[in-house]
Structure 1
C-alpha cells in the first residue's frame, strides 16, 4: 500500500512522540518494569502511568511531577530519566488483579480543541503464577514409590555392577607379550 507524502507528513509530528512496549509479563509476587521513550520536546513535562481501557478515560496511578526523582504510590513507582528521554514504571509484588490495560502518558497543556491530546502508548500487563517445582509420591505401594526400589536403584545395582566388572577384569585372559617363552631343550 502506498501513502502519499502529504499524508505521511501529517502523521510524523505526533506518531513517535512516545513509544513503549505493547505488552509486558510478570509473575505473581514478583515485579516488572516498563520503559517508555519520549521525544526531546517533552523533557520537562509530567509523565504518568494510568489504567483503563481507553487512554482518554484512564485512572492515574502515579506521576512524575516534572522532576527526575522517583515518585511512588503503593506498589507502583515512576521515574523520569530526562537525559535519556525515558521514564520507567515499576510494579512490585504483583497479583492477578494487576493484569490489564495500562498507559504511559505525557501530560501536555490542554488547549480546548479537537487536536489536543496527551501523547500515550498502551501497555498490556499479564501476570502469571510463579514457577513452582514440586515432587510428589502419590502411591507408596507402587514399586517406584517404595524404599526398597530406591535402595535397589541407588545402592544395590551400582554395587552389583561394580563387582561384576571386577570379576570380569580379573578373569580376563592374559595376553602374551609377543615373545615366545623358551622351552627347555630335551636333547641336552
Structure 2
C-alpha cells in the first residue's frame, strides 16, 4: 500500500511540482532575484509571490497573468519564463522590514482559494544592514588590520586601497 501514500505526496503543496531556494539573503539598498522552477503542466497558469508565515494565508504581492511580460507592484516584480519553466521574482531597494517568510506559488483552479492546494514553495528572505562608510574612509572587510595614515586631501588609487585591504 505504499503507492497511494507516494501519490498523495505528489499532491501536497511544495512537492516536486514547484521548487525554489529555501532561503535567500541580501543587503539593505540592494536587490534580490529569486527563481522558482515549475513542471510543464503549469506552463499556462498564473504564478505569484506572497508573504506570510503560512502559504494558505499569505498576502499576495505580485502575480503574472499567464504571459512572459513583467508585472510590478512597487519594489517587487515577477516574470514568467515559459521557455525554461521558471519564474523570477525581483525585490529591489531592500530594507530590513523585507525580512520574513515568502512563497512562490502557482494559481490553480479551486472554488475556495484559501483551502486550495496551489503548488508552493517557501522562501525565507533575510536582509542585513548596509555597511556604513564615512566619507573619505576606506571600506575594507571586517578583519583586524593596520592602515597607514592618509593626510587630508590625499586620494588613494584602487591599487593603493587594495594594498591596505587584506583579501
**TM-score class, shorter:** 0.7 to 0.9
**Corresponding residue of 1:10:** 8
SS in 2 for 1:94: coil
Aligned counterpart, 1:127:
127
Is 1:63 the equivalent of 2:63? Answer: yes
Per-residue Cα deviation, 1:82-115 (whole angstroms, up to 9, x for no partner): 1111000000000011000000000001045998
Whichever structure has more helix as a proportion of its residues is: 1
Shift of 1:130: 2.3
Q: Equivalent residue for 2:53? A: 53
TM-score where L is the length of structure 2: 0.73
**What SS is found at the alignment partner of 1:9?**
helix
Distance 1:112 1:50, change over 3 A: closer
Q: Which runs of 4+ in 1 moved over 3 A?
A: 3-6, 111-116, 131-136
Q: Distance in 1 between matches of 2:10 and 2:23?
A: 23
Q: 1:80 is matched with which residue?
A: 80
User: How big is the shift at 1:116?
Assistant: 4.0
Equivalent residue pairs, number: 138
The structural deviation recorded for 1:4 is: 3.2
Q: Name the CA distance, whole Å, in 1 between partners of 2:116 and 2:100.
A: 26
**Distance between the aligned counterparts of 1:113 and 1:89, measured in 2?**
22
Matches within 5 A, 1:35-54: 35-54=35-54
Residue 113 to residue 100, structure 1, CA distance change in 2 (3 Å):
closer
Q: Which has the higher contact order (CA 8 A, sep 6+)?
A: 2
Query: Which SS does the other structure have where 1:68 is aligned?
Result: coil
Q: Deviation of residue 7 (structure 1)?
A: 2.1
For the 8 Å contact 2:34–2:89, the answer to whether it is kept is yes
Gaps of 5+ in 1: 137-143, 148-188
Q: Specify the alignment match of 2:95 in structure 1.
A: 95
Tell me, in whole angstroms, the C-alpha distance in 1 between the residues paired with 2:113 and 2:92. Answer: 38
